[in-house]
A = this chain, B = another copy of it.
Amino acid sequence: MTEHADPVTTPYRPRATLRDVAAMAGVSMKTVSRVVNGEAGVTPQKVDAVRLAVSRLDYRPNVSASALRRSSRRTAAIGTVLEDLANPFSSALLRAVEDVANEKRVLILAGSVDEDQQRERALVRAFTERRVDGLIIAPVGEDQGYLRTEMEAGTPLVFVDRQPQGLLADCVLSDNEAGARNAVHQLAEVGHRRIAYLGDLAIIPTAQQRFAGYQRGLLECGLPLDPAHVVHDLHTIDDAARATTALLRSEGAPTALFASQNLVTIGAITALQELGLEQGVALFGFDDFPLADLLKPRVSVVAQDPAAMGRAAAELLFERLDGERDRPRRILLPTTTVLRGSGEIPPGRP
């Protein structure tokens, strides 16, 4: 009992085990196991004795130990690998995953990758070494083939936001291209002919899709693609603000801006406000954000639904855990064009 006592500091009181409960209740470990797991076929008398001992010892079963021995081998935990737990997109997605998992009494291990391939692999490895029952991943690496063994071992994998490469697996995506295209159509309809593209890192697949949608939109509207109006690789608010300022001060400045992502949109707004042009230049953002409708002008956006993505991904995952063995599914969620004002500003006079 006191074998682990530390001579220097107060010893910790070791946690009670199944064996301790059995000893106190005067039954076998197997009987305690039955009671704790709610199995039928135990005398009410013994059930009471076990319950009493459990509560006296404040016994907490060791779920890891039981998972180790159980035939299902389930740990009742899933891993969620996201871009950045602090950003609104990732955190809304995570919360939706949590809500679905919670109904199944499953816990969430979560981590941020920050656009770093190494980190993606390190997190996945750490999660699989804990034998999570499944993984939801917003992939950043260029190849997810390293997950093949994991899939073959029966761990369901669902990718969100971006498609996996080098691996066939379930995924849940936003229709990035259609969303961007719609924004361009909307701006063209108001009369814009010089619509700039402000894009995130060009290596990001979703950024590529949004750029493709921008190009298609221009084409469909009979507008030329002006390379001077295309800026890639904006990853922070400051990046975007600087690029916007430069663009608007240039010869033949655009009359409308399409910002391919949250932070880029905010950077563009910052620049527009500094230049006093927020009512004079149209702006469309990809991704909605809190307070977009309290700004002046209110900000028009192509909205994704991160909560719906998280929910869909979690539901796919749990279907797999329930035995669904169909071929990989690909869920494409539509975006919503939200007209609030900034996207409807007409072109000014040249």
Q: Which residues of A contact B (CB under 8 A)?
A: 9-10, 12-15, 58, 60-65, 67-68, 75, 77, 84-88, 90-92, 94-95, 98, 102, 105, 107-112, 125-131, 149, 152-154, 266, 269-270, 273, 289-291, 294-296, 307, 325
Residues of chain B within 8 A of A294, CB atoms compared: 266, 269-270, 273, 295
> Are B94 and A86 touching (Cβ within 8 A)?
yes
Alpha-carbon distance A125/B58, docked complex (angstroms) = 11
> Are B112 and A95 touching (Cβ within 8 A)?
yes
Chain B residue with the shortest CB-CB distance to A71: B4
> Are B14 and A77 touching (Cβ within 8 A)?
no
Known: A95-B84, A127-B107. A153 touches B68 (CB 8 A): no
Give 17 A-B contacts (CB < 8 Å), ordered by A residue.
A9-B325, A13-B149, A13-B152, A58-B149, A60-B128, A64-B75, A64-B131, A85-B94, A86-B91, A86-B92, A107-B127, A270-B294, A273-B294, A289-B290, A290-B290, A295-B295, A296-B296
Minimum CB–CB distance from A162 to chain B (whole Å) comes to 20
From the candidates B125, B266, B270, name the one contacting A60 in the complex (CB within 8 A): B125
Q: A9-B325, A64-B75, A77-B130 are in contact. List 15 more A-B contacts (CB 8 A).
A: A12-B154, A15-B149, A60-B125, A64-B64, A86-B95, A90-B91, A102-B111, A107-B126, A108-B111, A110-B110, A266-B290, A291-B291, A291-B295, A294-B295, A295-B295
